[in-house]
């Protein structure tokens, strides 16, 4: 049954993207996020799994749907138990403003296989398959860039780093520019940025920076499916956040988290559907007669299969929206 789940999972992200895209450019990020949640929750109800959300929209008292601990799927006894990590809309402001890189994403693994990451900052570095084995999050950006350049057999001036445009990342940008590497800045949507470094035709070689820990786990599932490498470190800022790390069983807060720590085993899945255009995927397009097109990617770690899915949706007949 597990081999058939991947295509069902992409229908979940398609539903979220179709619903959220109706709020494109309307200036209301809360409405956009709620539409994505509504669409994703409805699609999950048709998926043949016994799923539990381990990374979601928040705790039960914070989110009416897709909250941490929520059961999703059809839930029959013969169906596999799965951990679910969701970000129905990675880039709420991007949709509200009509900007690129907004995506709906889902990661899934067998029960117990996804890190139950708390909502705090996480330092991350990710690369595609060709640079696997040469990154080290404890080293400087400069050292990592030079090592990746060597692994890719590129001159450092041909290496492109993608990093979120935040003051906290000035040291990364300065290191990259000092040795002549190319820097691509993005505003929001670090899951899309991480995915991009796994595909040669995006022109992105390394993703670095500090962003949300839940998004880090979702990105790790994608990187694992692509055969790349990712390392991470939690960055708690308060005593309460440190306590949450201890409650998760992470006694050494400075521990370097590997892909196996973030997404264990081979039964890991990832799906993403673009809401607006990104480096990898084309956003939702509406045409006449209630027709919309979506562009998605769905991956499975066990087989290494990566499928790009172009879909045409008749919105009058669709059960997803």
CATH code for the domain of 309: 3.30.540.10
Helix (H, G, I), strand (E, B) or coil at 133: coil
Asked if residue 190 and residue 236 are part of one domain, the reply reads yes
215 is annotated as contributing to ligand binding: yes
Please identify, among 262, 285, 306, the residue that sits at the C-terminal boundary of a domain. Answer: 262
Asked if residue 199 and residue 86 are part of one domain, the reply reads no
78 is annotated as contributing to ligand binding: no
Q: Which residues contact 161 (CB under 8 A, 6 or more apart)?
A: 141, 145, 172, 176, 181, 182, 183, 184, 205, 206, 207, 208
Tell me the pTM.
0.92
Q: pLDDT tens digits, residue range 219-236?
A: 999 999 999 999 999 999
Q: pLDDT tens digits, residue range 261-311?
A: 999 999 999 999 999 998 889 999 998 778 999 999 999 999 999 999 999
Q: In the structure encoding, which two tokens stand for residue 244, read together?
A: 């949450």
4 is annotated as contributing to ligand binding: no
With respect to residue 39, please indicate whether it lies within any of the assigned structural domains: yes
Asked if residue 256 and residue 132 are part of one domain, the reply reads yes
With respect to residue 110, please indicate whether it lies within any of the assigned structural domains: yes
Asked if residue 11 and residue 87 are part of one domain, the reply reads yes
Residue 1 has pLDDT above 60, yes or no: no
From first CA to last CA, the distance across the chain in angstroms is 26
Asked if residue 149 and residue 57 are part of one domain, the reply reads no
With respect to residue 228, please indicate whether it lies within any of the assigned structural domains: yes
pLDDT score recorded for residue 33: 94
Asked if residue 31 and residue 13 are part of one domain, the reply reads yes
Asked if residue 97 and residue 196 are part of one domain, the reply reads no
Asked if residue 245 and residue 150 are part of one domain, the reply reads yes
Assign 60 a pLDDT band (cuts: 50, 70, 90). Answer: low
Residue 243: CATH number of its domain: 3.40.190.90
Asked if residue 105 and residue 128 are part of one domain, the reply reads no
With respect to residue 321, please indicate whether it lies within any of the assigned structural domains: no
pLDDT score recorded for residue 244: 82
pLDDT score recorded for residue 137: 97
Asked if residue 127 and residue 255 are part of one domain, the reply reads yes
With respect to residue 320, please indicate whether it lies within any of the assigned structural domains: no
Of residues 250 and 233, more confidence is placed in 233
Q: Which residues contact 8 (CB under 8 A, 6 or more apart)?
A: 46, 47, 48
57 is annotated as contributing to ligand binding: yes
Check: CB of residue 18 under 8 Å from CB of residue 43.
no
Q: Judging by DSSP bridges, how do beta strands 285-287 and 305-314 pair with one another?
A: unpaired
Mean pLDDT of all residues belonging to the chain: 92
Looking at the structure of the chain, the number of domains it has is 2
90 is annotated as contributing to ligand binding: yes
Q: Give the residue numbers spanning the domain of 101.
A: 5-114+267-314
Asked if residue 255 and residue 125 are part of one domain, the reply reads yes
With respect to residue 10, please indicate whether it lies within any of the assigned structural domains: yes
Please identify, among 240, 262, 284, the residue that sits at the C-terminal boundary of a domain. Answer: 262
HSE-up (13 A, CA, CB side) for residue 206 = 35
């Amino acid at each position: 049954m597990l081999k058939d789940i991947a295509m069902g999972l992409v229908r979940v992200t398609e539903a979220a993207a179709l619903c959220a895209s109706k709020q494109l450019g309307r200036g209301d990020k809360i409405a956009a996020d709620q539409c994505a949640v509504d669409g994703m929750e409805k699609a999950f109800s048709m998926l043949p799994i016994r799923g539990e959300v381990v990374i979601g929209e928040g705790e039960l008292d914070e989110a009416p749907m897709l909250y941490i601990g929520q059961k999703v799927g059809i839930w029959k006894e013969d169906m596999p138990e799965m951990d679910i990590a969701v970000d129905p809309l990675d880039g709420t402001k991007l949709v509200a403003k009509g900007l690129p890189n907004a995506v709906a994403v889902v990661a899934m693994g067998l029960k117990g296989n996804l890190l139950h990451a708390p909502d705090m900052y996480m330092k991350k570095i990710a690369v595609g398959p060709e640079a696997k084995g040469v990154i080290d999050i404890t080293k400087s950006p400069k050292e990592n860039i030079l090592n990746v350049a060597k692994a890719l057999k590129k001159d450092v001036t041909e290496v492109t780093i993608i990093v979120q445009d935040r003051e906290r990342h000035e040291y990364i940008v300065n290191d990259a520019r000092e040795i002549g590497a190319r820097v691509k800045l993005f505003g929001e949507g670090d899951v899309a940025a991480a995915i991009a470094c796994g595909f040669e035709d995006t022109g992105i070689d390394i993703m670095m920076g500090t962003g949300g820990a839940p998004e880090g786990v979702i990105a790790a599932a994608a990187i694992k499916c692509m055969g790349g490498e990712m390392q991470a470190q939690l960055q708690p800022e308060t005593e309460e956040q440190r306590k949450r790390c201890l409650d998760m069983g992470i006694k050494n807060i400075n521990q370097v988290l590997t892909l196996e720590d973030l997404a264990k085993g081979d039964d890991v899945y990832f799906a993403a559907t673009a809401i607006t255009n990104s480096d990898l995927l084309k956003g939702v397009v509406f045409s006449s007669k209630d027709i919309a097109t979506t562009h998605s990617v769905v991956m499975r770690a066990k087989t290494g299969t990566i499928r790009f899915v172009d879909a045409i949706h008749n919105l009058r007949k669709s059960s997803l929206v």
